[in-house]
Chains A and B, each alone.
Chain A
Amino acid sequence: MDDDDPNLKHPSDKQDNSGVSRRDFLKISGISVAVPLVAGPQAVMAAGQQVPVYGPGKVPMEFTINGKVHKASLEPRVTLLDALRDQFELTGAKRVCDRAECGSCTVLVENKPVYACSVLAIEAQHKAITTVESLMQAGKLHPLQQAFVENDASQCGFCTPGFVVACKSLLDKHPHPTPEDIRRGLSGNLCRCGTYAGIRQAMAQLSQKGA
């Protein structure tokens, strides 16, 4: 399998490829040394430094997700989003645009919101990952989720988990967000059904009460 030969990754070599996919980009912008197919890291010299190189085969990884340790053997090119969804059955974060535009995959890494589609799983190891699944405690909705329910802030619901996590992160930073804080804080998430009105109302309600 010569798939990780960076010379073959150039899009012009591929008749069916009009653009560079994110995965390709992550690969071609990486280290340009051919590496053998091994599981463990290999040290190579790059820019005058010894750097460990993983892959291209599967490597063992360990994650801390919602306070629990999860282990999996994954290729280094697998994104955090795909690891969460395909390996750990945490399907709250959704794959929609798959390139850091729509926010449907939003999770918290070290309490900061990130687009999980654009973070490699291998880089999210040993960091505190929080997903929408952790917000409900003992079968009870988080006040933020309750406000979403009361204000009918979801329709088809596919963008909703991403919005909930983005709102959680915004409220952690600004417990009483102004309309301007809300607009700015949620501008990284998209909805197709048009639930912004309900979300705005839910956030206004929480802003008054404090969440």
Chain B
Amino acid sequence: MPDYAWPDQEHRTLIGKRITRVDSPVKVSGQAKYTYDVHRPGMLYGKVLRCPYAHAKVVSIDTSAAERMPGVKAVEIVQKPNANIHWAGDDVVAVAAVDEPTAEDAIRAIQVEYQKLPHLVSDAEPPQGATQEEGPLSMNDIDDLLDNQVPNRQIVEKIQQYGVTEKPTEDKLKSFKSSGANDAVLNALREATVHPEAASRPKSNYEKAAAQTVGDPDKAMAEAEVVSEGLYGVPVITHCCLESHGTISEWPDADHLLTHISTQNVSGIPGQMAEPLAIPASNIHVHQDHVGGGFGSKFSPDRWGIFTAQISKKAQGKPVRIMLERDAELEVAGARPSAYARVKVGAKRDGTLVAWQSESWGTGGPGGGGMPPIPYVFTIPHQRKEHTAIRNNIGPARAWRAPNHPQAAVLTMCALDDLAAKLNMDPVEFFGKNLDITKPRQDIYREELGIAANLMGWNEKWHPRAQNRSGNITRGVGLSLHTWGGRGHNSDCDLTLHPDGSVDLKLGSQDLGTGTRTCILIVAADTLGVPMDAIQLEIGDTTYPPSGGSGGSTTIGGVSSSTRRAAVDARDLLFAKVAPTLDAQPDQLECVNGRVGVKGDSHRSLSWKEACAKLGAMPITVRGTNPDRTKPPDLTNSGVGGVQMAEVEVDTDTGIVKVEKMVAVQDCGLVIDLKTAESQCYGALIMGISYSLFEEKVMDPTTGRMLNANLEFYRLAGFNDIPELVVHMMTGKGYDERGVIGLGEPPVVSPGAAISNAVANAIGVRVPFLPLTPDRVLAALGQKAGA
């Protein structure tokens, strides 16, 4: 059996080293082509007319003037009269024209009449008694769930749990299917329990989404020696990918579609487009070279992606491009659910955590949303948790880098930090004392907590809350812990050795800027003993073997494992061909520094090129797969731990918070490329500063629209906001042998809680909600002064 295991430290030439990103040169020179940059011959420019109301019914649409305009090639009504619209900015009509200005003119020429309906865009605490138990689903509910793009899996769960109010007709099932329901949903509907009496139940915007009890929380809370109560929360924020969502679709012939799309999920796109377009997935060719950010928002072709294909068909198959405008990108193309909670947490006087109680709420838009995993990281023995999901009209939510974890970190780590303050304990000591209930990662956290404290200079900087005030400028430090899964996804790759010594490697993956290309080449080159630039890597195309979507930090584990297996197999096939020439057995051979030779005998070797010439006339291709139980060991793993610390300076006159320093200590098993791994952490800290201090999707209760759908008022952290950043990757013994684990998400989890805790340490009072804007800081200071 070939040895697929990761080489140990002495036998690695590239893995774990600090290797420069391979696609940097094309990015810094402007040559990298993103979907937005693709200019297909004869390409038409699409624009979308969007609904200005948060909740409305389409009454009538008149597109005749637009259709008559010179240069307009196709008009597609996306939502016909009688369609219900559930958020402002939803697509109503799309047009394609010879250039962008003409398409804009055409959009302006379309007349749509709407019937406005009442909307809710607030995610404030649910009024007393408003929360409704979830119940059986009506056929309208199913329509809404599909309209709102709730994942099929979740719809099935709801149907199975609550039943339906009536038995769906076959016609109704057909219409669900055309709205995106898969067979699992249709089967669940056919088999669902029917509760006709529930049909008359009025619908509330507030729905009980979770209620859980662990142990005996009442008794434990009553017996706790110190109890802290507080209010915490994070608002809805957006993904704000700099390359907006978008697609260019064309029909080379009547049955085949070519789609360029900005996506995190190249291999997964055809399967999602096939049904709405009524063509086989095998007839859909998807291509993408580079993607300008995704952060969890780019897994689906989206409705606009589907209609670029439909419009293209109307326009004789010509390429049709729709890239979202910035306002649409922020309004409809991705939001992170909010989460707020009233938390009560109890401990013994020595700091041992005993009880947790939380009433939480939040919104993920029309779909409601679930409870974040609280209490986070710490499995407090006695817990009572209730969560209300607010269904409202702010637009759909999408997975945002480490879904639900940043929210859980704020709700948990801020509550625990307040408890530590009440106990008069240094948070490092308090969190450290409770690490036993962070199993199975308690040892990792303990080691990381010590390293982080050193790198931050915690012992010199920490002080009891607000005891370090001199004048209006005050400083503080705070910390947070986080975790994530990150096991490698399914990935296939094809590695080909050519008789002339060239090597190519193909897989339908994508590089989001995380360094995926670089890491694949590091693994292949390290295994084959050739330089990275001797291997031609092709990714981002559905003609290559399928590789999973880049979500959940699953990419690095998946692609590195499939690549390792392919490269080991290719190397062993080469050894078998070369062994006779070198008068050796295949298992005596090694490839190092571009030579294939006998281990320990430098006289018996061939150059890589000479060795490959022994392959004969034909190249050989091997397929690497992850997971692959026939080729052990498991090369990827799940479960990481990280500790972050923040130091802030707060001006108590203006309320302005400035982050002065951040420290990230992170484990992710075996690091493939230390350089791009560290960059992930630097980037996550910066993104974390951005959502901690600035970001919020602000909704106008009157119009129901987003007030800051632009980059002036939806603020991202800029150069001036970036403090001293320290990143420490946990590597070596105890970490490397765990295998490769994902890193994209975990380091973005903790900044919100760490920064909020640092501000509380600085000013002596909790600012309940992120972002920590001057008005919120001053309000919290005012309350403290008034108390």
Contact = CB atoms under 8 A, between A and B. Distances in A.
A141 B100 contact: no
Given A191-B686, A192-B687, A193-B683, 13 more contacts: A3-B108, A96-B243, A97-B710, A98-B326, A152-B24, A152-B679, A157-B290, A190-B716, A194-B690, A195-B679, A196-B718, A197-B679, A197-B725
Interface centre among A90, A149, A152 (most CB of B within 10 A): A152
A149 B24 contact: yes
Interface stretch (B7-15, B28-36, B309-317): B28-36
Contacts of A190: 242, 711, 716, 718
Interface in A151-199: 152-161, 164, 182-183, 186-187, 189-199
Interface in A113-139: 131-133, 135-136
Contacts of A189: 718-719
A75 interface: yes
B656 interface: no
A94 to B, nearest CB: 7
Interface centre among B30, B37, B101, B108 (most CB of A within 10 A): B30
A144 to B, nearest CB: 8
B684 interface: yes
Nearest 4 interchain pairs by C-beta:
A92-B30, A194-B686, A158-B292, A194-B683
Contacts of A186: 719
A186 B717 CA distance: 12
B29 A157 contact: no
Given A141-B29, A157-B32, A94 B100 contact: no
Contacts of A101: 710-712
Contacts of A195: 679, 682-683
Given A94-B36, A152-B20, A193-B683, A200 B722 contact: yes
A23 interface: yes
A150 interface: yes
Contacts of B174: none
Nearest to B721: A196
15 contacts: A14-B108, A75-B101, A92-B31, A95-B323, A99-B710, A104-B242, A148-B24, A158-B34, A161-B27, A161-B29, A186-B719, A190-B718, A192-B241, A197-B682, A200-B722
A182 B50 CA distance: 40
Contacts of B658: none
Interface string A33-74: 000000000000000000000000000000000000000000
B105 A1 contact: yes
B362 to A, nearest CB: 23
A94 B243 contact: yes
Interface of A: 1, 3, 14-18, 23, 75, 77-78, 82, 85-86, 89-99, 101-102, 104, 131-133, 135-136, 141, 145, 148-150, 152-161, 164, 182-183, 186-187, 189-200
Nearest to B240: A192
A155 B683 contact: yes
Interface in B86-103: 99-101
Contacts of B690: 194
Contact of B21 (A85, A152, A164): A152
A136 B31 CA distance: 10
Interface in B281-331: 290-293, 295, 323, 325-326
Nearest to A104: B242
B28 A156 contact: no
B20 A156 contact: no
A99 B329 CA distance: 14
Contact of A135 (B29, B295, B705): B29
B69 A160 contact: no
A115 to B, nearest CB: 11
Contacts of B513: 154-157, 193
A96 B31 CA distance: 17
Contacts of A132: 29-30
B112 interface: yes
B108 A141 contact: no
B325 A155 contact: no
Interface in B706-752: 710-712, 716-720, 722, 725
Interface string B89-133: 000000000011100110110001000000000000000000000
B716 A92 contact: no
B363 interface: no
Contact of A18 (B33, B52, B292, B687): B52
B101 A78 contact: yes
Nearest to B29: A136
Interface centre among B27, B326, B718 (most CB of A within 10 A): B27
B751 to A, nearest CB: 11
Contact of A156 (B107, B112, B242): B242
Contacts of A98: 325-326
Contacts of A18: 52, 703, 705
A192 B686 CA distance: 9
Contacts of B725: 197
